Amino acid sequence: MGKENLTLLTDFYELTMMQGYFKNNTNERVIFDVFYRTNPSDSGYAICAGLEQVIEYIKNLHFGEEDIAYLRSLKIFDEDFLSYLTDFHFTGDIYAIPEGTVIFPMEPLVKVVAPIIEAQLIETAVLNIINHQSLIATKASRVCYAAQGDGVMEFGLRRAQGPDAGTLGARAAVIGGCIGTSNVLCAKYFNVPALGTHAHSWIMSFEDELTAFRIYAELYPSNATLLVDTYDTLRSGVPNAIKVFRELKEAGKMPKTYGIRLDSGDLAYLSKRARKMLDEAGFTDASIVASSDLDEYLIDSLKTQGAAIDSWGVGTNLITSKDCPAFGGVYKLAAIEKNGKFIPKIKLSENPWKITNPGDKTIYRVYEKESGKVKADLIALTVEKYSEDETLKLFDPIATWKKTNLKGGSYTLRELLVPIFVKGECVYTSPSVMDIRAYCQKELDTLWDETRRLVNPHNVYVDLSIDLYQMKHQLLNSINNGNGHI
Amino acid sequence: MGKENLTLLTDFYELTMMQGYFKNNTNERVIFDVFYRTNPSDSGYAICAGLEQVIEYIKNLHFGEEDIAYLRSLKIFDEDFLSYLTDFHFTGDIYAIPEGTVIFPMEPLVKVVAPIIEAQLIETAVLNIINHQSLIATKASRVCYAAQGDGVMEFGLRRAQGPDAGTLGARAAVIGGCIGTSNVLCAKYFNVPALGTHAHSWIMSFEDELTAFRIYAELYPSNATLLVDTYDTLRSGVPNAIKVFRELKEAGKMPKTYGIRLDSGDLAYLSKRARKMLDEAGFTDASIVASSDLDEYLIDSLKTQGAAIDSWGVGTNLITSKDCPAFGGVYKLAAIEKNGKFIPKIKLSENPWKITNPGDKTIYRVYEKESGKVKADLIALTVEKYSEDETLKLFDPIATWKKTNLKGGSYTLRELLVPIFVKGECVYTSPSVMDIRAYCQKELDTLWDETRRLVNPHNVYVDLSIDLYQMKHQLLNSINNGNGHI
């Protein structure tokens, strides 16, 4: 986490290609774009995350002696190339969309402008980091949306796909809206709240549940949230919890925060019954925390059913993004510099929407001025200039007859990509995770409810500028020789 | 990976419970079992993996100065407890099933016998590591089963859930049967084959495909596997590859390994057409490698369709176990020592099969002597003794009328749990990953085909000994007071 050397965290073919370019004296500057094609979990948007770890990775890039010795042992790399690697460091430029920003398909999230040997090496790790954290941040934003403002706690470490998935995943979950995590390592590294109280084993290690509750509440007078489902939630757990709350009240030791946690059974039924029991005993401010295989759909359903739950602990389904455990970010060549000029490149596919966007691009987010909501995104060439005073012509890049003209003054533009590295030097300081979280909440507010909803959301248009569209189609026509569909 | 201090990789409630036990002077020895309830991906078995990383984690357990300072800053831990943590190390015993072993639901994969404060701390990390790697090893074994002996390469790093998920996941994938990985860091750490050739960007960085192929084949004379789908597989990629192979042949420079890689399109159709083109050109020994969103079902279907594919690169669906991205391993209290004797403990549930198995247990694998195949597993108390000469009575622990008697001499027994730590000292040396892989292949051979098949597999019985069954039911009856179903 920050200090480890991840230089060999790359696909083997990156290294064979690097040696190929090296031996062929091919090291032109190129542009690679990181983008994705489909929002995860049928979402109407995604949240980008992971940039801080990409920055650390790039800063720490170097081949140590052990790495070189290992590569030499494979008997596929020549000494001149290994000697080049010994002095390797990243000298290029990187632009990226800041973490916590709402993003849409086909937009360059990260743009790498660097000699091809360097740009090729970093492909795999950059994708790994951005794909993972963007996936979990997106999922978290959906879970928090379903919770309608209740606190959502990230509880998934034990089911995460390894230590990093637990720790960096929890970081991303907080960016996406969780109020904190059970993962202490994450809480320490990223200065986010560490959350949790006790497990069934605490209860089971005492002679009886009441004793376990009593001792816990005595030890932690500031937060007595008692887990009530070890033996029988309504006949044992809740009555014992109420007994302990009464004792604390009588002793004048009422905790600031207190309540119960339900971790199994029918959460709608149990929470309503438990709420009634707590209220009748006078503990109307006792909170009810729920956990147990929750996701955005189940929370949404529990809300609809009127479940009396104030706070949510979400584990497996969030930390693995269970219904969609991979974010399909790719890293595609967009241009190669020849004689000081970037020549656009395109990757074909039989599916029109899978064809890449060529050239040196940037993204403008178009906001409706009146509401501050996102109207569309516009991918344009960096050489193009836009003015908010002029009419902005937008059109669907596949169904080109679908057009919108935005009058000057009715919209605002914001360029999403910001410089992160310039000539190998980092020029960007990552905000704290809690600051990224706050920024992300504002970002989500720029979306229409129709885009945020969990099912069948309204998709935001991501349009191409006229110049980019024309460049793309000229390239397509020049490649396709007319002997059939490509 | 091995050197990092993961001591704080734990749920916050482990620490609050630890302080609770500490302040309450509760530190009896306890037994915790790691087990899981359902095979992932509807499999008939699972493969356990991750033990080497659990061992490293336990060996490295210590709270550094920074960790203590962080915990102090939370203002919830007292100085006497923090002082205890400063000197903390693991003093208990750990038993585990060796990595690469075939496992079934409800069996203790790891048994921790330790003072409760220590046993509680390690819960989260042990689960995290075992859950992750067992998940991926299981998935890999299924993908390799579908490939019917063809080589399967792990290619998923860019879509893995963070760096560890990519690297430890690739380790697990090799254990489960992959012949190697594209992940260079994994290959270096674990001494497994690093695999791969080139990407679309290699092709696109040259003026044309033919030049890109020629230069690649010249640079890597020992393995010329050419990616043929950048522009048009059958009209450009395969003909250009054949042209290059002809040139190499004419120059007397035919590579030992050569062929083409298909990474998009209809793999059944394209592979058959490409095979015909290669064969007609005389390159009958050219291999055809396929990648592109593969999983066990798609490979199985391609095999059924007669696809001419010799080798498979599997990414996203393997490294994330996409259809089932979490292995549901849990860590449950089974016994607490009082006056030198372990008192069994049980965790109730409304679902009979979710009720835990109490006491100090071990597992015997029962093999049919004649075939060497697995007949059943038997979870028994460690105090019980079994002899292969006597009749073994097995019965279904839920549907108890289902019984089998195995005659003495017709079966063999193998105890699965082996000692890993004794009184805090590691007594086990992990085999190399490639040795674990070879062991796992033998393990898979002990399963009947009916258990290995991908869909609707035959489930292997995991039975309880009579003594364990009776102990469990006595405990259940003593807890349930008869006021209704628990």
- Site from A1, A10, A11, A28 to mutate, B interface, most B CB atoms within 10 angstroms: A11
Question: Alpha helices, DSSP H only, in B256-405?
Answer: 267-280, 296-304, 316-319
Nearest CB neighbour to A188, from listed B8, B264, B325: B8
CA distances from B437 to B170, B403, B424 (A): 12, 35, 28
Q: How many angstroms away from the CA of A85 is the closest CA of chain B?
A: 15
Q: What is the CATH number that goes with domain B197-286? A: 3.20.20.70
Picking from B336, B301, B334, the residue whose alpha carbon sits closest to that of residue B27 is B336
From A48-57, A130-139, A148-157, A201-210, the region with the lowest mean pLDDT = A201-210
Specify the domain boundaries for CATH 3.20.20.70 within chain A.
147-319
A321: which 2 tokens? Answer: 């993004």
What does the pLDDT read at residue A485? 45
CA distance A176 to B239: 49
- A343 close to A335: Cβ distance less than 8 angstroms: yes
Q: How far is B184 from chain A (nearest CA, A)?
A: 6
Q: Cα–Cα distance between B206 and B89 in angstroms, integer?
A: 58
Closest Cα in chain A, distance from residue B8 (Å): 5
Residue A479 has pLDDT above 80, yes or no: no
**The residue type at B373:** K
Task: Identify the pLDDT of residue B482.
Answer: 53
Q: Quick check: B13 and A183 CB within 8 A?
A: no
The rounded distance, in Å, linking the Cα atoms of B308 and A336 is 36
Pick the CATH number of B12-137+325-479 from 3.20.140.10, 3.40.50.20, 3.40.50.80, 1.20.1250.20: 3.20.140.10
| Closest partner CB to B13 (pick from A187, A199, A486) | A199
Cβ–Cβ below 8 Å for B8 and A205 = no
The CA-based dihedral angle spanning residues A371, A377, A382, A383, taken in that order and rounded to the nearest 10 degrees: -70
Q: Judged by CB atoms within 8 Å, which residues 156-215 of B form the interface with A?
A: 157-169, 182-185, 187-188, 194-202, 204-206, 215
Chain B residues 19-48 with a CB less than 8 Å from chain A:
19-21, 23-24, 26, 28, 30, 32
Which chain A residues have a beta carbon less than 8 Å from that of B336? Answer: 205
Nearest residue in chain B measured CA to CA from A223: B76
Mean pLDDT, each 10-residue run in order, chain B (486 residues): 79 97 94 98 98 97 97 97 97 98 98 98 98 98 98 98 98 98 98 94 92 95 92 95 97 93 95 98 97 96 98 98 97 96 87 87 98 97 96 91 94 98 98 98 98 96 96 87 48
Decide if A124 touches B, using CB distance below 8 A: yes
Mean pLDDT in residue range A179-183: 98
Q: Quick check: A486 pLDDT over 80?
A: no
**pLDDT above 90 covers what percent of chain A?**
91
| Residue A478 confidence (pLDDT) | 85
Q: How far is B374 from chain A (nearest CA, A)?
A: 29
Confidence band for A447, pLDDT divided at 50, 70 and 90: very high
- Spatial distance between the Cα atoms of A158 and B134, rounded to a whole number of angstroms: 13
CA B237 to chain centre: 37
Half-sphere exposure of A163 (CA within 13 A, CB side): 21
Where do you find CATH 3.20.140.10 in chain B?
12-137+325-479
DSSP string, B31-89: EEEEE-SS-GGG-S-EE---HHHHHHHHHT----HHHHHHHHHTT-S-HHHHHHHHT--
Mutate: best of B11, B216, B331, B333, partner A, most A CBs <10 A: B11
Q: How many CB pairs (< 8 A) connect A and B?
A: 297
Beta bridge partners of B11: A183
pLDDT of B2 reads: 47
B473 CB-side CA count, 13 A: 10
Within an 8 Å CB–CB cutoff, is residue B76 touching chain A?
Answer: yes
* Nearest residue of B to residue A1, measured between CA atoms: B4
pLDDT higher than 90, residue A116? yes
Q: To the nearest whole angstrom, how far is the Cα of B268 from the nearest Cα of chain A?
A: 16
Q: Which of residues 395-454 of A touch B (CB under 8 A)?
A: none
- In this complex, is the C-beta atom of B310 within 8 Å of any C-beta atom belonging to chain A? no
Q: In the structure, what pLDDT confidence band is assigned to residue A231 with cuts at 50, 70 and 90?
A: confident
Lowest mean pLDDT: which of A270-284, A467-481, B80-94? A467-481
Query: How confident is the model at residue B483, as a pLDDT?
Result: 47
- Give residues with Cβ within 8 angstroms of A233, minimum separation 6: A262, A264, A265, A270, A274
Nearest residue of A to residue B121, measured between CA atoms = A184
Distance from CA of B303 to the nearest CA of A (A): 24
Compute, in degrees rounded to 10, the torsion defined by CA atoms B13, B14, B20, B26.
Answer: 150
Record: contact A205-B76, CB cut-off 8 A: no
The chain-wide mean pLDDT, for chain A, equals 95
Considering chain B, tell me which residue range(s) the CATH 3.20.20.70 domain(s) occupy.
197-286
Contact A160 B161 (CB under 8 A): yes
Interatomic CA distance for residues B42 and B47, integer angstroms:
13
Binary contact (B202, A264; C-beta < 8 A): no
| B3, B4, B7, B12, best to mutate vs chain A, most A CBs in 10 Å | B12
Confirm if A175 and B5 have CB atoms less than 8 A apart.
Answer: no
Whether chain A has a CB inside 8 Å of the CB on B479: the answer is: yes
Q: Collapse the DSSP code of A67 into the 3-class scheme (helix H, G, I; strand E, B; otherwise coil) and give the result.
A: helix
Per-residue model confidence as pLDDT tens digits over A370-386: 999 999 999 999 999 99
B11·A182 Cβ contact <8 A: yes
CATH number of A147-319: 3.20.20.70
